[in-house]
Chain A
Amino acid sequence: MSFKERYGSRMSFLLYISNYIVPFILFYIIGYGLLSKVAVFHEFTEGAKDGFKVVMGIMPTIIGLMVAVGVLRASTSLDILASLLKPVTDLLRFPSELLPLVTIKSLSSSAANSLLIDIFKEHGPDSYLGRLSSIIMSCTETIFYTMSVYFVTAEVKKTRYTLHGAIFATIVGVIASTILTNLIFY
């Protein structure tokens, strides 16, 4: 029996759980809020106002980066890059289209978001690439940006094994995403 046959059907419960996560969180928090006599709807609307501030705050960044990714896509740069990377990624059994996404994610979250959107547009969010990239984006963080902001604050110059650990965790996350995507969806 192959690995896939043995574990594939058991892993599909994750798909089932996915549908419960968001409703459950709402149910739990609102229910708990009611029991603790919190004015839940008032608090909700107060918090939702901040959502506007957050989105308005990142809008200039999104406009700039979506234009940049649009230029890369329309000029066929992304296709050229993917075909250049193909020999390497085939060896790793990883889709070459997603390597730029993983690399950019280590530098900037918002640039990676624009590439993610580009993948959704090109291949659809429910395609293999769309699903895999969604899962990769949920289990990785910006490496270099986070390290520079935090270590500059602490005035640290020698970062020792931080970078190794961060890259290790990211690679494990990407491998786990690839295996999970194959097991659950295909």
Chain B
Amino acid sequence: MLNYLWAFMIILGTAVGIVTGNIEPVSNSIISSAKEAVTLCISMLGVMSLWMGVMQVAKACGIIESLTRLLRPIIRLLFPDIPKDHIANEYIASNIIANVLGLGWAATPIGLKAMKELAKLNNNSETASCDMCTFLIINISSLQLIPVNVIAFRSEYGSINPAEILGAGLVATMISTIAGVLFSIIARRLSNNSKV
């Protein structure tokens, strides 16, 4: 995806710069942006390492495990086609918790395992099962409790209170997730009805 997107951005930007006579600022910004990216990464190191450190403590004292267990009944409700003690339940719960806690790189591998199990339950069909649709819609509706990188960027660019958007962000995330869940439930009903 980034392959085309990145090339498109550079080529479009340079072409527009030539046409509008802004090639000097373009040239300057290429050099200064590269430098700025490194400065940004250095300041991100602080917030990122802090968050990862705290999450390591949460893992060590079993908070992440108990959160995953708390999620079980909700998973049963949202994914009625998965057998009760199937490992897919476990994977989906871990994926959701990792997403909520902003551990995106940990979430994806578990999520892919969940997807493989769902594919087996779906007899490896080429058509997605309702459970797969629900799983992805919930994932894409965004579950993250704290957008760690947004906070880091806000602080780097001089916000007086970088955390002030957390409350609103939390409510907006919940609303979008509820919308995704409702959509999945209704779509599942409709598709089950049309099968009968």
Contacts from A to B (Cβ < 8 Å): 13-19, 21-22, 25-26, 29-30, 32-33, 36, 38-40, 43-52, 54-56, 58-59, 61-77, 80, 104, 107-108, 110-111, 113, 116-117, 120-121, 124-126, 130-131, 134-151, 153-162, 164-166, 168-170, 172-173, 176-177, 180-181, 184
Contacts and interface: CB of A to CB of B under 8 A. Distances in A.
A108 B165 contact: no
B169 A111 contact: no
A143 B180 CA distance: 13
B153 A158 contact: no
Interface size on B, as a range, is 35 or more
Nearest to B124: A155
Contacts of A165: 133, 136-137, 140, 180, 183-184, 187
SS class of chain A's interface: helix, strand, loop or mixed? helix
B16 A75 contact: yes
B25 A75 contact: yes
Contact of A177 (B13, B52, B108, B168): B168
B128 A162 contact: yes
Contacts, number: 368
A181 B38 CA distance: 31
B68 interface: no
Contact of B61 (A32, A51, A111): A32
B191 to A, nearest CB: 7
19 contacts: A18-B165, A18-B166, A18-B168, A21-B146, A43-B56, A45-B53, A54-B48, A55-B44, A55-B45, A55-B49, A69-B9, A75-B13, A124-B159, A137-B150, A138-B150, A146-B139, A162-B136, A172-B179, A173-B173
